Amino acid sequence: MSEQAVAEGESEQRTDRTGFLQGLGCYLLWGVMPVYWKLLSAIPAFEVLAWRMVWSCAAVIALCVLVKRTRFLYLFRDPRAVRTFLASGLIVSCNWGVYIWAANSGHLLQTSIGYYLCPLCSIALGMIVFKERLTPMQKVATALAALGVGYFIVANGGDIWIAFALALTFSVYGAVKKKGGYPALPGMAFESLLTGLIGAVALGVGAIAPWIWQIVPATPDAMAVTGPVADMALLAGCGVLTAVPLLLFSAAANRVSLTVIGFIQYVSPTIALVLAVAFYGEQFTLAHGICFALIWLGIAAIGVEAALNSRKKKAIANRVPADGAM
């Protein structure tokens, strides 16, 4: 093995590590996001969604200006880019809307189920769309996770449509982004611009006909902030809260496989589940315990496999000098 090959291998490993950390940071932020939506629960979810789309656009464009990477409007001349980011923007906006409403209306556990299902959908899309192959341990982990989530759904029932809506929209969003293959920041800026325009139109319609917000009425939580100044500050904060994890997700999706992203996604629903039970008084059942046990057993299997592969790569790299290869 040549030194060049070793260098390329180390570069790929660093890229994978960077992508993994970006994905992990993204899901940590998404995991604690329900707390933020509870603060805004006195405002109808549809109105919060419209403001979120607008302020996210502003935050991403401001970030582009800050890092002096403002060349993304050229994507308007690329029909494929317009189709890709219009589709991804609409899909993720649907995901946001369902999530905001569910988190503020007492269905946080259902969002947790949805994001436990999401990695399974991502893995399926990875195999179908990108022809990714699962390792033996990944197959075991997928089976265990599917069994745990399936048992949880059968045992609990309820508004399962929320879980499936979240799982399908976000896994398809990830697949669309990966299929597009555009650079993270310009792509995120272009997508945010498109969704921001849609959000601005929605706010304009709402200003003329405010009754449209009541199609999905607010369900205020005890944590809800009701002052107009504080509400506007929180709505503006939606931009940063949305842009940062989405940027991390876009970068991670271009660096690592959908299979890896699929398993990182378990971080977010675990945090949401803990919040639902520990802070918002939702009941933790035997089904929760079984689901947790099976999912984390699967994740442990993936962790063991990753550790063994890492040791193998290091062993190969350490043998290179002894082989005398150039």
Could you report the per-residue pLDDT of 206-241, keeping only the tens digit for each? 999 999 999 888 888 888 888 889 999 999 999 888
- Could you tell me which residues come within 8 angstroms of residue 298 by beta carbon, excluding any fewer than 6 positions away? 140, 141, 142, 143, 144, 145, 148
Supply the pTM of this predicted model.
Answer: 0.77
Tokens 């993304």, residue located: 72
Quick one: average pLDDT of 192-196?
93
Is the pLDDT assigned to residue 199 strictly greater than 60?
yes
Instruction: Write the single-letter amino acid at 91.
Output: I
Cα separation, 286 vs 186, whole angstroms: 46
Q: How many CB atoms lie under 10 A from the CB of residue 268?
A: 25
Spatial separation of the C-alpha atoms in residues 307 and 326, rounded to whole Å: 28
**Interval 75-105: pLDDT, tens:** 888 899 999 999 999 999 999 999 999 988 8
Longest Cα separation, the chain:
76
Question: Mean pLDDT over all residues of the chain?
Answer: 81
Nearest to 52 by CA among 121, 104, 110, 109: 104
